[in-house]
Structure 1
Amino acid sequence: MPDKLTKSILLLLFFVLTHTLPLSAQKIYQTSLKDEVGANAWRVIKKSYQEAQQQKADYFLMDMNTFGGAVNFADSIRSLLLDADMKTIVFVNNNAASAGTLIALAADYIFMHHGSSLGAASVVNEKGEVLPEKYQSYMRGLMRATAQAKGRDPKIAEAFVDPRVVLPDHKEEGQVLTFTATEAVNAGIARAVVKSTAEIYQSLGIQDAQVQQYQWTWVDYLVGFLTLPLVSGILIMGIIGGIYFELQTPGVGFALVVALISASLFFAPLYIQGLADNWEIALFAIGVILMALEVFVIPGFGIVGILGLVFMLCGLAFSMMANDFLDFKISKPGMLINSFMVVIAAMVLTIILMVIFGRNILRSATFKRLVLQDEQRAETGYVSSVLKADLLHKQGIAKTVLRPSGKIEVDGVWYDAVALDGFIDAGEIIVVEKHENYNLFVRKINA
């Protein structure tokens, strides 16, 4: 009898203590995924999780509203959630489509807002067209593995990708599975339908929650802005235009500064996000060097110049997309073509603008004040190419490299001239052979 009484008292005491004394506060770190799943989203989520670890949070909550994005970055976020050393929660706050579904399945708990949806995870291109089977097979494998890791039905996860999967209680054959909030709860994919994070805490029995919210910094916004395709295109125009003007007016001047600033703003955000690698930046730099060699050292426009353009083009395009040293399988389908289109379009537009406005810009008083250049004064022996008949067949000296155009000196007077041989080095003896349209045409005299 005393034993029963003792047990009863202990049980009563335990009940009173557990229901009257406050539980220790639970730390919850909250972040958001409200845009396309891409490089910037992955960077912010990773940074958020690192801060959650520093805060020793008990829960990591992701407020999600996304239509998907790049599979490689979604897989990175998925892996982070699967390997997390704290409980993870995804709050589907309207949409978790495509890559968003993959991320949600990696969380310990999925909660969905009223009217939200989850599913439709087939891999598509930029036009929304379903890609070939090899892409779908890879995605199905990721979905199954993720669902199994969190104790969810792998067949349902596969049905989010494959329309051939038959689930009599949820969909017919030929349809890709998409759940409403209530359907996801009934299927055991989501835990509950809620209206706010407060209801999430209540459902999980979290009392006295201490919530820490990730605060976006100006760097986050700036990086996201600079990596927009339109902004990247404008920066590429700044790079190409700056290089063009610098080659036209040699010397460390305004044009070179514009090119360097544009290159820094283009590559730095991509490098921070893990897109641009050292070898891609080096590839672009080699292209610039080859172009400079073509202009200043090697006559004509040949293989070196072509290689320079190709290296610059590839360095810029490869930096804009995820790849494992030319292995583009990890990148979003169609991204390779899109990157090259952005770079080529920016280059073509720059060339057009240079043809239309370049000569006027070079001659403008503002540009001349901004660049370092030598003045060509009459008292130093320079005159314009107003030609005289007695210049024909006269000998002179090349004062600059002619590649093929440059400057020569005849009888102590400087003239603009074009080399008939394609290239004449400074100091070479030349002879004037003809003049057309106010241009002198000269040929090198071989010793």
Structure 2
Amino acid sequence: MSKFTKSVLAFFLSFFVLLPFAIAQRVYKVDLKDEIGPNAWRTVNKAYSEAKMIQASTFLVELNTFGGAVNFADSIRSKLLNADMKTIVYINNNAASAGALISLAADDIYMNKGGSLGAASVVNQEGEIMPEKYQSYMRGLMRATAEAKGRDAKIAEAFVDPEISIPALKPDGKLLTLTSSEALKAGVIKAEVKNIEDLYQQAEIKSADVIQHQISIVDKIVAFLINPMVSGFLVLGIIGGIYFELQTPGIGFALVVALLSAALFFAPLYLQGLADNWEIAIFVAGVVLLVLEVFVIPGFGIAGVLGIIFVLCGLAFSMVDNDFLNFSVSKPGLLINSFLIVIGAMLFSVVLMVLFGKNILRSSAFRVLVLEDEQKSEIGYTSSQRKSDLIYKDGIARTVLRPSGKIEIDGVWYDAVALDGFIDVGEKVYVEKHENYNLFVRKLSAKPMDT
């Protein structure tokens, strides 16, 4: 065998021997520096999938959070506990509440000097301690997580329960929060570090082997759309669009606004795992009931009330993680907040429609976007000129007025609005007043005798 052949064989042998070792040194790093919620869970889940795809040996989470929703923290905890690779959490300042639960699920914890870890009691949106059933659930999670990684379960429970007695670390009756030096002495963390480079050195990780998870534009858009304020505006678009579509015959733009708002509202929540199929189905059922109430069922009754309730619940439930109406898995107070957002948007949309509805419909800019049927004079349509002459004249409803529709007077069709709220096809009416483009009518039976 020639020297060249031996060199080639040696090269390929070295390559295939060292390749698995090189791959095994890959570290995939993801940052969690906001409230623990659907965005955090989606980010970690996506990052872990990419780490597996590149066959990384270590999954590193840089954490700096004051907490968040327990259910999403539990999902991240489970991902770390069941990971196929080594897991490291780097506490870059704070790991409170839900952050403490995530930290305990890692194989190794490194902590910045001056950082803190603990204070994991379950609280509501106002920071008030929740009832015992929530604390008991959290204690169990903390204890089980610590035991799974060989850490002191009593210390983990003391993060949640002030009654746990650990004289060396905290006074009785106070929640446990550990500094970096205290956590190191208690065996909770592996080491104190000055910065991420110090962590790499102590964990024997080369910076060149670290792959940083990048947040995509789609992820940023999803995060923006599920912001409660943005969700409120989208609900406003949904309700307003539905209202104008039902109230204005021939309109198309309002339907587009409602559909687009609904898509932007539900799609990111569905991607985040918040909105489920049954919640979207409730919303759709509510819209269908409202349509039936307006176009099929006379008056306003059970279908209309149920439609409003279904629409409200479909929107509110989609914003909160739940197990088919079991909301105990979500952060306390979120369900009430979601209902407040939806109800507030509904009320605000009603106010806007009452104040500006007619002006919007009559504006030239809006009419450009309206899809209206062509109204030809040869089939009975006429302009609004001299409609004042029609006051107190009798006519007949040629379409259902809910409240707007068409009436016929002396063989001519006119746009009309029912002051009675609902007038069925074929009912006799009389004109009470005329404003702008419409005649305002009532049932003939309500006409004053002296007219």
Calculate the TM-score normalised by the size of structure 2. 0.87
Matches of residues 404-415 of structure 1 in structure 2 within 5 Å?
404-415=403-414
SS at match of 2:169: coil
Counterpart position of 1:268: 267
Matches of residues 324-343 of structure 1 in structure 2 within 5 Å?
324-343=323-342
Counterpart position of 2:370: 371
Counterpart position of 2:441: 440
Letter in 1 for 2:165: V
Contact kept? 1:136, 1:161, Cα under 8 Å: yes
Cα deviation, 1:133-191, whole Å, max 9, x if unaligned, reads 11001000100000000010000000000001110110011110001111111110011
Counterpart position of 1:38: 37
- Separation in 1 of the partners of 2:345 and 2:353? 12
Deviation at 1:421, TM superposition (A): 7.8
- Separation in 1 of the partners of 2:318 and 2:156? 33
Contact kept? 1:125, 1:333, Cα under 8 Å: yes
Counterpart position of 1:130: 129
SS at match of 2:321: coil
Letter in 1 for 2:410: D
- Separation in 1 of the partners of 2:419 and 2:109? 75
Counterpart position of 1:18: none
Contact kept? 1:383, 1:414, Cα under 8 Å: no
SS at match of 1:400: coil
Counterpart position of 1:4: none
Letter in 2 for 1:430: K
Task: Report the more deviating stretch, 371-380 or 340-349.
Answer: 371-380
Deviation at 1:259, TM superposition (A): 1.1
Counterpart position of 2:180: 181
Contact kept? 1:418, 1:442, Cα under 8 Å: no
Counterpart position of 1:315: 314
SS at match of 1:386: helix
SS at match of 1:300: coil
Deviation at 1:80, TM superposition (A): 0.5
- Separation in 2 of the partners of 1:365 and 1:192? 69
- Separation in 2 of the partners of 1:335 and 1:178? 26
- CA RMSD between the two structures: 2.3
- Separation in 2 of the partners of 1:412 and 1:266? 47
- Separation in 1 of the partners of 2:67 and 2:281? 32
- Separation in 2 of the partners of 1:406 and 1:127? 50
Contact kept? 1:300, 1:404, Cα under 8 Å: no
Counterpart position of 2:382: 382
SS at match of 1:406: strand
Q: Which runs of 5+ in 1 are unaligned?
A: 1-20
Matches of residues 44-443 of structure 1 in structure 2 within 5 Å?
44-206=43-205, 210-251=209-250, 253-374=252-373, 380-382=380-382, 384=384, 385-388=387-390, 391=393, 394=394, 396-415=395-414, 423-426=422-425, 428=426, 430=428, 432=430, 435=432, 439-443=440-444
Contact kept? 2:397, 2:429, Cα under 8 Å: no
- Separation in 2 of the partners of 1:230 and 1:46? 25
SS at match of 2:327: coil
Cα deviation, 1:418-443, whole Å, max 9, x if unaligned, reads 668864433x25254x7368743234
Deviation at 1:197, TM superposition (A): 2.6
SS at match of 1:61: strand
- Separation in 1 of the partners of 2:429 and 2:52? 77
Contact kept? 1:249, 1:373, Cα under 8 Å: no
Letter in 1 for 2:126: K
Deviation at 1:377, TM superposition (A): 7.1
Contact kept? 2:418, 2:440, Cα under 8 Å: no
Aligned-pair identity (%): 64
SS at match of 2:174: coil
Describe the shift of the 1:258–1:32 C-alpha distance in structure 2 as closer, same or farther (beyond 3 A). Answer: same
Letter in 2 for 1:28: V
- Separation in 2 of the partners of 1:419 and 1:203? 79
Contact kept? 1:249, 1:371, Cα under 8 Å: no
Letter in 2 for 1:435: E
SS at match of 2:88: strand
- Separation in 2 of the partners of 1:431 and 1:246? 25
Contact kept? 1:29, 1:61, Cα under 8 Å: yes
Deviation at 1:360, TM superposition (A): 0.4
Describe the shift of the 1:405–1:113 C-alpha distance in structure 2 as closer, same or farther (beyond 3 A). Answer: same
Deviation at 1:382, TM superposition (A): 3.3
- Separation in 1 of the partners of 2:304 and 2:443? 24
Describe the shift of the 1:208–1:67 C-alpha distance in structure 2 as closer, same or farther (beyond 3 A). Answer: closer
Counterpart position of 1:12: none
SS at match of 1:173: coil
Cα deviation, 1:376-429, whole Å, max 9, x if unaligned, reads 6777443555255773xx5x4322112355332121133455668864433x25
- Separation in 2 of the partners of 1:234 and 1:405? 28
Task: Report the more deviating stretch, 317-326 or 396-405.
Answer: 396-405
SS at match of 2:309: helix
Describe the shift of the 1:129–1:249 C-alpha distance in structure 2 as closer, same or farther (beyond 3 A). Answer: same
- Separation in 2 of the partners of 1:129 and 1:204? 39
Cα deviation, 1:300-346, whole Å, max 9, x if unaligned, reads 22111111111000000000010111111111111110000000011
Deviation at 1:204, TM superposition (A): 2.7
Deviation at 1:34, TM superposition (A): 0.7
The number of equivalent residue pairs is: 419
Describe the shift of the 1:341–1:421 C-alpha distance in structure 2 as closer, same or farther (beyond 3 A). Answer: closer
- Separation in 2 of the partners of 1:405 and 1:24? 76
Deviation at 1:251, TM superposition (A): 3.6
Contact kept? 1:38, 1:74, Cα under 8 Å: yes
Contact kept? 1:420, 1:443, Cα under 8 Å: no
Calculate the TM-score normalised by the size of structure 1. 0.88
- Separation in 2 of the partners of 1:226 and 1:371? 28
Contact kept? 1:383, 1:413, Cα under 8 Å: no
Contact kept? 1:299, 1:422, Cα under 8 Å: no
Deviation at 1:253, TM superposition (A): 1.8
- Separation in 2 of the partners of 1:160 and 1:213? 31
SS at match of 1:440: strand
- Separation in 1 of the partners of 2:27 and 2:352? 53
Q: Which runs of 5+ in 2 are unaligned?
A: 1-17, 446-451
- Separation in 2 of the partners of 1:232 and 1:409? 44
Describe the shift of the 1:389–1:107 C-alpha distance in structure 2 as closer, same or farther (beyond 3 A). Answer: closer
Contact kept? 2:248, 2:404, Cα under 8 Å: no
